[in-house]
Amino acid sequence: MYISGDYHLHTYASDGRASVKDHALAAKARGLKEIAITDHSFSTLFCNMTEKKFGKQSAEINELSGDDLKIYQGIEGNIIGNRLDVPPSIIRKLDVLLVGFHRYVTLFKTTKEERKFLLTNGFSSEKNKEKLAVYNTEAFVSVLEKYPVDVIAHLGHRTPLHFERIFECAAHNGTYIELNEKHIETLEAHIDGAINSGVKFIIGSDSHKKNRIGEFRRVEEFIKKYSVPLERVFGTDGNKPEFKDKKGWQFVV
Ligand SMILES: [Zn+2]
Ligand SMILES: [Zn+2]
């Protein structure tokens, strides 16, 4: 197996400590063919995306992307209850829409239900796990059905879920399940269900620093240990993922 892509990267536009150019140079040095820049989204605390930063990043990516290295522009959207914090006008400009649960999200302009979702998941212990799993699963399913989601990042990180239902829904909607180098352990108990569901996988280092791009030691071990079918793992062995066309996408409530 060899690594040919990395579809989860952060830059100075959010909480990364690298520029698009730093990642592009490191990616070329590692022999990668494709990468996706996926900074945190608009409601993230302290280092949120803005329209201005997004526009500047688009221009940078257009300049650096080429035949030797394809660079996709993405966002790592926050799931807040059953909505995403990415404006529709931005979604239409994206190559890649990643979504994930993060607890450091502003509570400004959130509904009572959404605050409950953020706070009970982000800061609670083991209690109420089953009740939360039911609630979270419905939230994730509703997001997958309403938005053109390409990838679910670090599924299960700080969020109890009914994984099988999510895999089934992701397979149905053509959404990739990420094999995330930093949080691969969250899939450990559920990988058989994922394989059986027919869902596709994609690799992401979730790298925030220079020269960490393309590092997948844990993901590689995981793939071998659980015999994840390589033809369904995008970003390895030259397998290139396909992302949804979002240009004409409209939000329907
Ligand atoms: Zn994340
Ligand atoms: Zn990330």
Among 77, 80, 78, residue whose Cα is nearest residue 97: 77
- C-alpha 6 – ligand 1 centre gap (Å): 14
- Of the listed ranges 112-126, 129-143, 151-165, 173-187, the one predicted with least confidence: 112-126
- C-alpha 13 – ligand 1 centre gap (Å): 14
- Of the listed ranges 76-80, 126-130, 146-150, 219-223, the one predicted with least confidence: 126-130
Work out the number of other CB atoms within 10 angstroms of the CB of residue 114.
20
Give the amino acid at 22: D
- C-alpha 41 – ligand 1 centre gap (Å): 10
Given this model, what pLDDT does residue 239 score?
A: 98
- Of the listed ranges 87-101, 126-140, 151-165, 225-239, the one predicted with least confidence: 126-140
Among 106, 24, 103, 101, residue whose Cα is nearest residue 57: 24
Is the pLDDT score of 146 beyond 70? Answer: yes
- C-alpha 91 – ligand 1 centre gap (Å): 18
- C-alpha 39 – ligand 2 centre gap (Å): 7
- C-alpha 78 – ligand 1 centre gap (Å): 8
Rg (CA), the chain: 17
Q: Give the span between the Cα atoms of 174 and 169, in whole angstroms.
A: 9
| 116-145: average pLDDT | 88
Q: Which ligand lies nearest the alpha carbon of 7?
A: 2
- C-alpha 213 – ligand 1 centre gap (Å): 15
Work out the number of other CB atoms within 10 angstroms of the CB of residue 25.
17
Contact partners, residue 224, CB within 8 Å, separation at least 6? none
Which alpha helices (H) appear in the chain, and where do they start and end? 20-29, 51-64, 88-91, 112-123, 129-146, 163-173, 191-197, 217-225
Q: Give the span between the Cα atoms of 113 and 115, in whole angstroms.
A: 5
Given this model, what pLDDT does residue 124 score?
A: 66
| 64-82: average pLDDT | 97
Q: Which ligand lies nearest the alpha carbon of 15?
A: 2
Q: Which ligand lies nearest the alpha carbon of 104?
A: 1
Which pTM was predicted? 0.97
